Amino acid sequence: MDLGTRLVAAAADLVDSRFPGRDWAGAAAMALDDGTLLTSTAPEVVNPAVELCHEVGALCEAYRIGRPVVASVCVVRADQGRGFWVLSPCGVCQERLRFYGPGVEVAVPEANAPALWRMVTLGELQPHWWATVFDGEPI
Ligand SMILES: [Zn+2]
């Protein structure tokens, strides 16, 4: 099983175990450079203005243990609970993941077929990333 498939399965497993029976729920999974897989989900909050992305928990854990992230996926349960769709990382998560370089792989859905997905690098996802004006390095 390739890394992307393992990550999607890990994120879907977290959704199934943490939110059984819920129609709409999501989770993320990340792979680190040593092969470790981390999963996380967004905590529920009262005020939507303070919501976090599903990726944040895994990203913070990777940083805590000092291991680079090499791949990331985010999934949501869809189709009335019959399957999962892959969500591209939002712009903020793209910025967070970019700390680990343009080679980080992320899952993206196929257009008009969100149950189908593929892995692309951040460099492919955002070829005009703002810091490329500085030779690809952040300020
Ligand atoms: Zn995000």
Report, as an integer, the average pLDDT of 78-104. 92
* Ligand 1 centroid from CA 2, angstroms: 24
CA of 74 to the centre of ligand 1 (A): 9
Token readout for 90 is: 């939002």
pLDDT band (50, 70, 90) for residue 137: low
Tell me, in angstroms, the distance from the centre of ligand 1 to residue 87's CA: 10
Quote the pLDDT of residue 102.
94
113 is a domain residue: yes
Residue 44 lies in a domain: yes
Q: Measured in angstroms, how far is the CA atom of residue 55 from the centroid of ligand 1?
A: 6
Contact predicate 29/14, CB 8 Å: yes
Lowest mean pLDDT across 20-24, 69-73, 83-87, 106-110: 20-24
Is 91 part of a structural domain of the chain? yes
98 is a domain residue: yes
| Cβ 28 vs Cβ 54: under 8 Å | yes
Distance 88 CA to ligand 1 centre (A): 9
Q: What is the pLDDT of residues 28-40, one digit of tens each?
A: 999 999 999 999 9
**Is the model's pLDDT at 81 over the cut of 70?**
no
- Provide the pLDDT for residue 26: 96
What's the CATH code of the domain at 69? Answer: 3.40.140.10
**Distance (Å, rounded) from C-alpha 105 to C-alpha 107?**
7
Query: What is the span of the domain harbouring residue 106?
Result: 3-134
Q: How far is the CA of 44 from the centre of ligand 1 (A)?
A: 15
Number of domains in the chain: 1
In a domain, 139, yes or no: no
User: Lowest mean pLDDT: which of 28-37, 52-61, 126-135?
Assistant: 126-135
